Every structure is written in C-alpha cells, then in structure tokens.
Amino acid sequence: MNRSFDEKLALFAKLAVHEGLGLARGQELIVAAELIAAPLVRLIAAEAYRAGAKNVEVLWSDPELTLARFREGSDEAIAYAPNWLIDGVARAHRENAARLAISSTDPGLLARVAPDRVATQSKVQGAARKPVSDLVAGSAINWCVIGAASPAWAARVFPDLPTDRALAKLWDAIFLTSRVEEPDPVAAWVAHSESLEARVTTLEAARFDALHFTGPGTDLSVGLVEGHRWAGGRGRAKNGILCSPNIPTEEVFCMPHRLRVDGVVSSTMPLSVRGQMVDGIRVTFKEGQAVEATARQGEATFRKLLATDEHAGRLGEVALVPHSSKVRQAGVLFLNTLYDENAASHIAFGASYGENLSGYAEMSEAQRVARGANDSIVHVDWMIGSDRIDVDGVAKDGARTPLMRAGEWA
C-alpha cells in the first residue's frame, strides 16, 4: 500500500484503540508512554475520545529522567517507588480503566549504570507495582502493549545507519509486523488472531502433560499445570471486553508447572533486561528451579534478575512461535521483547498468567501455587526457539506428538 507515514500512524492508532484495547464507550484509558511517542499518543487519545472514552490519562516517562535518577540520585532515591501514584493507578484499573503501554525503550539505556543500582530500583518498583501487574496479568481489564520507534532504540537496532534512516526502518518493521501495511489492517489483524485462536483450540484438545524442547544446547522438559489453558490471539478480560494484549503477537502460550521443569536450555537471541544487554544464556533446571545460570554477556544482570525474589528463578510461561512468523520475516533483531518474543519460541522467568489456568480467578493464592502457578514480581521472556529446535507434546502416558520440527509447526 502506498500510504504516507502519517496515514500509517493514524491506522496504527485505530488498530490499538479498537482491536488492541477494544475500548468501550464510557471507559477510562491509562496510557504509559515515553515523551518521544507524543505524536502517536495524541492520535490514540483523539481516537479514544471519539470512541467515547471518559478520560485519557497519559503516564509519561522520559529516559533522561530515568538516567538522572541513576546518575545523580542518592541510595534513598534508588530504593524508592512512588506508592501514592502506583496505588492510584491500581485504583483506576479496579474502577475499570483500560491500559495501553507504548514501548520505545532504548534497550541499552542503563548500560553504564551499576547492575546493583538497577537491580535495587527494579525490585522496589516491581514490588510497588505488583497490585497493577497482578490486575494486568490476571486480565482484570482490557490491556494492550504496542511499540513506537524512538531514535535511541532505532540506533541500537541499526547501528550503521544515520538516525533518520534507522528510525524510518524501525517504524517500517513495526508497521509490517502490526499488519498496518495490509490493505485493511483491522481485517488482517482479525484473520491473524483467528488463526492463533484455532491453534489454541487444537493444543487445548491435546491435554499435553509436558512440552519437550530439543536442539543445539537444549534438552528441556517443561511440565504443564493440570487444568492448563492455552492462550493466543485475542482474550476476553474479566470486564467482558475482547482485547489483543500484544500488537504484534505470533505466540500461543501456556502455564509451566513451577516444580516440573528439568533439563538444560540455551537462548537463541540476545535480549535487553532492565536496560542492559544479555546474550548467550544457558540455564539448567531441576524440579522447576534454575540451578545453574550463565550468560556470555550481561551475566551479572541476569543473575540478579533470577535473585529478585523467591520464585524469580522458576518459569511462569512457555510459548510456541514458528520460525516463519511475520516478526521473524521482518528480518530485524528488535532488542525489544514485545517483538523478539514473537520471532521465536520462548520461556519466561517469573509470574504466570491467570488466563493459563482454568478457574484461576476463584482460587486462593495457596491453591494457585499448589496447582503449579508461579508468583513473582518479575516476568522476563527469553527466546529459545530457532530453525534447529524441535518440540514434542508429551502425554501423561509418555506418548509423544511432534509439535514443531526445525522451528515450524509439524
């Protein structure tokens, strides 16, 4: 399609409000975005008001202010989170506000900050934000994450290009993977969602007891919780609204049992953890716990992540993504999990998602844990899929069904 950048941006805003959020008339919308995303935020706000939003409140962030805190802030500042604000946001979501996060993060923003300070601040923020992340992870309200290119992010992705060309190329990749380049982006998004939802139906019916990943540096068994629910594509939030929590999304995902993960697994792509690059991860699991964890780059950051809280070293998600996904086709290493996790099968350390366990909302915390759900203030995906990885579904009686061969659906 021969559309101008402004036309694409407007289509992207519509896609986010209507398909991403499914924003309802009279609903409030909270947007989390960096200052650099202002042009997109303004289009989204206007679209949301046209859709009948009673308020669009933008929680702006600025990487320069984040850096100022790390560079100039006292130890007290590093160990502080504004509960007065976070509690207010949690209240808004309990009062049914929808949530849109726009990711523009420079994946190497905190490269020069001491990992100790980053870990302390992440832990404090994560703990303070838990009421909000629990509402989101529990699908209490309709929510969505999208991306917006920023010069700093684009420069990491295309370090050899001048800034304006890098920025344009990153926007192209965002529009492509979000289906904004399609003749009718909304129709294309719906068709794509339906194909993921069909895959979910097939996997649901199989009632696998575990998934088994094999490939170079990987021989990993991931037990699934009993009563697990596969998810992918759109999901219905508890407030009754159908939303697409990620744009783009290419994954179908399920809940690992917190005690039933065993073997060794190697990462297949680098990732940014808390503003610092981590690559070449290799982890050995025993009864669900990461007992050995190394990384060729960013090992200190990675190990601090796993030590964030008691269960940060256990899995909360396992996801299957074919090697031929639209995100992989874009041919870009985004260094941003929203995108990269949709280019490869992946697992996540930390909190599991309530939608992956039947009856989750009605269970006590103790019941959830007994069933194998994992609770943590972190949720960090990392990619373990490639065109050299096979995945089997394993039934309770040990029978194996080939799910993926050389990274593609079998």
Q: What would the two tokens of residue 167 be?
A: 């920025």
- The reply on whether position 6 binds its own copies by CB under 8 A is no
Considering only 71-79, 255-263, 288-296, 376-384, which stretch makes contact with its own copies by CB under 8 A?
71-79
CB 266 within 8 A of CB 225: no
CB 61 within 8 A of CB 37: no
409 binds its own copies (CB under 8 A): no
The residue within the footprint of its own copies, chosen from 1, 3, 77, 219 (CB under 8 A), is 77
Q: What would you measure as the largest C-alpha separation in the chain, in angstroms?
A: 59
Q: Please report whether residue 62 would count as binding its own copies according to CB under 8 A.
A: yes
Identify which of residues 32 and 295 has a Cβ nearer to its own copies in the complex: 32
Binding mask 18-47 for its own copies (x = CB under 8 A): -------xx-x------x--x--xx--xx-
Residue with smaller CB distance to its own copies, 43 or 224: 43
Residue from 1, 5, 6, 82 touching its own copies (CB under 8 A): that is: 82
Question: Smaller CB distance to its own copies: residue 91 or 296?
Answer: 91
Helix (H) or strand (E) holding 299: helix 299-306
| Assigned token pair, 17 | 């409000």
Report the b/e string of 140-166 with b at 16+ CB within 10 A.
Answer: bbbbbbbbbbbebbbbbbbeeeeeeeb
SS3 of residue 178 by DSSP: coil
Residue 114 lies near its own copies (rule: CB under 8 A): no
Q: How far apart are CA 359 and CA 365, in angstroms?
A: 12
Q: Does 52 bind its own copies (CB under 8 A)?
A: yes
For the chain, how many residues are written?
A: 410
Among 9, 17, 89, 113, binds its own copies (CB under 8 A): 89
Q: State how far the Cα of 284 lies from the Cα of 262, in Å rounded to an integer.
A: 7
- Site for its own copies contains 112 (CB under 8 A): no
- The count of chain residues that interact with its own copies, using the rule CB under 8 A, is 41
Q: Which is nearer to its own copies, 14 or 346 (CB)?
A: 14
91 lies in the site for its own copies, by CB under 8 A: yes
> Is residue 88 at the binding interface for its own copies, with CB under 8 A as the rule?
yes
Please tell me whether residue 191 binds its own copies under the rule CB under 8 A: no
Of 53, 140, 154, 173, the one binding its own copies by CB under 8 A: 53
Beta carbon of residue 389, minimum distance to its own copies (angstroms, whole number): 44
363 near its own copies, judged by CB under 8 A:
no
Asked if residues 262 and 287 have their Cβ atoms less than 8 Å apart, the reply is: yes
- Amino acid (one-letter) located at 163: T
Q: Is 280 in the site for its own copies (CB under 8 A)?
A: no
Q: Are 129 and 174 in contact (CB under 8 A)?
A: no
d(CA 57, CA 234): 24
Q: Nearest to residue 295, comparing CAs of 337, 319, 266?
A: 266
DSSP 220-251: EEEEEPTTB--B-S-EE-TTS-EE-SBSS---
By the 10 Å C-beta count (0-12 exposed, 13-18 middle, 19+ buried), 16 is classed as buried
Question: Considering only 66-74, 175-183, 231-239, 330-338, which stretch makes contact with its own copies by CB under 8 A?
Answer: 66-74
Residue 72 binds its own copies (CB under 8 A): yes
List contacts with its own copies (CB under 8 A): 25-26, 28, 35, 38, 41-42, 45-46, 49-50, 52-58, 60, 62, 64-65, 68-69, 71-74, 76-77, 80, 82, 84-85, 87-89, 91-92, 95, 97
